[in-house]
């Protein structure tokens, strides 16, 4: 078994007791391996706790929140959104805001930062399914002029094809 599989099985608690003893004897005593284990464990925890999900739809990345969230200065999702968009190599992104219950100036700033990053990389971003109160804020601030809103994902995908 390779090292990555062993770590994954250890973290999933699917190794037998003999393998666990062998694993812990080596990994917990070896600084390099222990650090790799800690990094992998942190990554797994981040993935499990992330409220964001990506999917592809016709070569377009769609970012969706799994549960209700806020895009506010103190919200964890705000940083996750920024990180996800900036680390992706995709240039066409749709952000589904159907589960966003509140947005403040920090959230608006992050949306604009993501949009700016994509435009600088010859891409663009579109918004779908924003609740009426969120749409009102996007309209009042003028952000909706740059980040067009579509009623559903298929309309947004079609808009990429028409451009």
pLDDT tens per residue across span 59-108: 888 999 988 999 998 888 877 888 878 777 778 999 999 999 999 999 99
CA atoms of 59 and 93, how far apart (whole Å): 9
Q: What is the pLDDT of residue 96?
A: 96
Contact 59, 93 (CB under 8 A): no
Q: What is the pLDDT of residue 116?
A: 92
Mean pLDDT score across all residues of the chain: 84
CATH 3.30.750.24 domain span(s) along the chain? 52-162
pTM recorded for the entire structure:
0.69
119-144 tens-digit pLDDT: 998 889 999 999 999 999 999 999 99
Q: What is the pLDDT of residue 27?
A: 74
Contact 40, 49 (CB under 8 A): no
Query: What is the fold, at CATH topology level, of the domain defined by 52-162?
Result: Transcription Regulator spoIIAA (3.30.750)
């Amino acid at each position: 078994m390779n090292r990555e599989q062993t770590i994954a099985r250890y973290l999933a608690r699917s190794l037998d007791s003999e393998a666990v003893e062998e694993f812990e004897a080596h990994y917990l005593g070896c600084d390099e391996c222990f650090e790799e284990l800690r990094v992998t464990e942190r990554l797994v925890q981040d993935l499990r706790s992330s409220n964001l999900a990506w999917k592809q739809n016709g070569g377009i990345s769609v970012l969706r929140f799994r549960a209700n969230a806020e895009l506010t200065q103190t919200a964890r999702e705000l940083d996750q959104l920024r990180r996800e968009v900036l680390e992706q190599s995709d240039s066409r992104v749709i952000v589904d805001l159907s589960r966003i219950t509140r947005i403040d100036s920090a959230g608006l700033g992050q949306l604009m930062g993501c949009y700016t990053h994509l435009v600088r990389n010859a891409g663009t971003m579109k918004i779908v399914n924003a609740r009426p109160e969120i749409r009102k804020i996007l309209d009042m601030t003028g952000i909706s002029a740059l980040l067009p809103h579509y009623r559903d994902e298929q309309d947004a995908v079609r808009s990429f094809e028409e451009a």
